[in-house]
Amino acid sequence: MSDITTLDDVRYQEFILQGVSRTFALTIPQLPPALRAVIGNAYLLCRIVDTVEDDSALTLEQTRELAGMFTKVVSGSVEAEIFAQALYPLLSEHTIPAEHDLIKNTPAVIRMTHSFNAVQRQALERCIRIMGQGMAAYQEKESLAGLENLAAMDLYCYHVAGVVGEMLTELFCDYSPEINQHKSTLMKLAVSFGQGLQMTNILKDIWEDRKRGACWLPRDIFLEEGFDLDNLQPGHCAQGFHDGLGVLIGIAKSHLHNAMIYTCLIPSHETGIRRFCLWAIGMAVLTLNRINNKRNFTAGVQVKISRRSVKATVLITSLLASQDWALRKVFAISSRNLPEVQITEL
C-alpha cells in the first residue's frame, strides 16, 4: 500500500465527516488550518474503532480480532485493504450507511494518517491502541448490572474518551509551542474533560444502552442512595435512582469545570481551538441541565437539546471565545457546591 496522500483522499475525508458526524463536521473547520486534517483524521480513526465495537452482528472474538488488526493498520504493520476486506462484509444494517462507506474506504483514511509528522502519528497510534484494547475488553463485560463502582466508570470513560483528550492535547502542543508550555497540566485536565463529555453521553443514553443489554452506571453510587440497579426499569424508578442521577450529574459538571480550566489555558488568540472545546462543553452542560430537570426521562430524545440551543451555544461561545471571565459567567460552572474529582494520569 502506498502512503502517498492524494487530493481525492483529502476530499474523501471532508466528505465522510459530514456523513458520520454532523457535530464534528461543524467543529473541526473551526480549528487552525494546520490542525484540521489531522484532527479530522483522528475522529475518523476513532469512528472506525466505534464501528467495530458497536456492530451487534460481530462476535466477541471477531471484535477483539478486528480491533487488534486495526491498531496494526494505524501503526503501518498491516495493510488497510486487508482490514477493510475482512470487516466490510460482516457489517450489519445496525451500522449506518456512512459507516459502511467509511470502512470500505479505510485505505484512503489511513493514507492520510501516514502522511502526518512523527509526533502526530505517535499520538494517533497510542490513542487507537488504548481505545481498541479498552473497548474490546468492556464489550466482554457488558451487562445490565452496571459497573462495580465509580472508579470502574472512570476507567471506562478513560478508554473511550479520556485517551482522546490526551491525543488532542498532544496535537495541540505539537502545533503550538505556547500551548506546549502548559502540557503537563493540560494532559491531566484532558482526561477529566473527556470524562465529563462521556458521562454526559452515558446519562443521556441510559435507556438506549439498556435496550442493547448494557449499563455503564456505577452500582456503588446508587446503592449509597438506597437503589439497586438490578431493579432499574424505565418509567418505574424509585427516588433513590433519581438521587443517584443527581450525584452523577454533579460529578460530570465538576469534570466540565475542569474542561473550562483546560480551555482557558489555551492562549486567548487561539480562538479556533477554544471554540472547538467550548462548543462541546456548552452542549454537554445544557444536556446535563435537561437531564437534571427531567430525571424521570425514558428515552434520550426527551433530554436532547434543541437546534435552537445548539445555535445559541455556537453564537455565544464564538463571540466570547477569548474572554475567560465572560465564559465562566455564561456557563456558570462554578467550583462551589461541586464534588471534587481526582485528576490522575492513567
pLDDT level of residue 204 (50, 70, 90 thresholds): very high
* Assigned domain for 122 exists: no
Structure-block grid coordinates of residue 297: 426521562
d(CA 73, CA 248): 37
| Separation CA 336–CA 122 (nearest Å) | 38
- Range with top average pLDDT, 135-149, 254-268, 297-311: 254-268
If asked whether residues 101 and 208 sit together in one domain, one would say no
Closest CA to 172 of 97, 270, 60, 260: 270
172 shares its domain with 265: yes
Residues facing 147 on adjacent strands: 218
309 assigned to some structural domain: yes
Q: Mean pLDDT throughout 164-183?
A: 97
Asked, for residue 125, whether it belongs to a domain, the answer is: no
Q: Which structural domain, as residue segments, surrounds residue 288?
A: 141-345
Cα angle: 257, vertex 307, 291; to 5 degrees: 50
Residue listed under C-alpha cell 467550583: 335
- Give tens-digit pLDDT for 295-339: 999 999 999 988 888 888 888 887 877 777 777 777 665 445 556
Note the pLDDT of residue 344: 46
Residue 3 scores a pLDDT above 60: no
Residue 234 has pLDDT above 50, yes or no: yes
Give the pLDDT confidence score for residue 7 in this predicted structure. 72
Cβ atoms of 101 and 51 within 8 Å: the answer is: no
Residue 126 belongs to a domain? no
Return the closest-CA partner of residue 185 out of 28, 29, 343, 23.
Answer: 343
Domain co-membership, 69 together with 188: no
Q: Is the pLDDT of residue 342 over 90?
A: no
d(CA 148, CA 195): 17
Q: Are 69 and 83 a contacting pair, CB within 8 Å?
A: yes
pLDDT of residue 345: 43
Where does a domain end: 47, 82, 117? 117
Residues 85 and 183 in one domain: no
- Report d(CA 225, CA 162) in Å as an integer: 27
Do residue 288 and residue 154 come from a single domain?
Answer: yes
**What region, left, alpha or beta, does residue 341 occupy, with left being phi > 0 and alpha being psi -120 to 50 degrees?**
beta
124 within domain boundaries: no
Number of independent structural domains in the chain: 2
- What residues pair up with 218 in beta bridges, in sequence order? 147
Cβ burial 289-326 (10 Å sphere, 16+ → b, else e): ebbbeebebeebeebebeeebbeebbebbeebbeebee
Could you tell me if residue 134 is inside a domain? no
Q: Do residue 103 and residue 222 come from a single domain?
A: no
CA 263 to chain centre: 16
Verify that 96 and 186 share a domain, yes or no.
no
- Give the pLDDT score at 42: 97
Give a yes or no: residue 294 inside a domain. Answer: yes
User: Which residue did the predictor score with more confidence, 140 or 275?
Assistant: 275
- Alpha carbon of residue 142 to chain centroid: 19
The C-alpha angle with vertex 300 and arms to 299 and 306, in degrees rounded to 5, equals 125
d(CA 296, CA 308): 23
- Is residue 191 domain-shared with residue 49, that is, in the same domain? no
Task: Name the grid cell of 52.
Answer: 467495530
Q: Are residues 98 and 175 in the same domain?
A: no
Final residue in a domain of this structure, among 85, 117, 149 = 117
CATH number at residue 270: 1.10.600.10
Whole-model pTM?
Answer: 0.90
Q: What is the pLDDT of residue 138?
A: 82
154 with 217: CB under 8 angstroms? no
For residues 161 and 304, membership in a common domain is answered with yes
Alpha-carbon distance values, 299 to 68, 85, 131, 206, 249 (Å): 33, 36, 27, 8, 17
Q: What is the pLDDT of residue 2?
A: 45
Contact (CB, 8 A) for 333 and 302: no
Above pLDDT 90, what percent of the chain?
Answer: 71
pLDDT band at residue 252, thresholds of 50, 70 and 90? very high
Q: Is residue 132 part of a domain?
A: no
Q: Which amino acid appears at position 292 of this protein?
A: N
Q: Give the model's confidence band at 343: pLDDT under 50 very low, under 70 low, under 90 confident, else very high.
A: low
* Predicted local confidence at residue 5, as pLDDT: 59
Q: Do residue 214 and residue 156 come from a single domain?
A: yes
pLDDT of residue 1: 38
My answer on whether 252 and 111 are in the same domain is no
How is 205-268 classified by DSSP, letter by letter? THHHHHHTT----BHHHHHHTT--GGG--TT---HHHHHHHHHHHHHHHHHHHHHHHHHHHS-T
Per mean pLDDT, which range of 144-153, 325-334, 337-346 is the poorest?
337-346
Which pLDDT score, from 0 to 100, does residue 338 have?
55
Q: Tell me the pLDDT of the chain averaged across its residues.
A: 90
Mean pLDDT of the 250-254 span: 95
Q: In what helix (H) or strand (E) does residue 130 lie, and over which residues does it extend?
A: helix 118-141
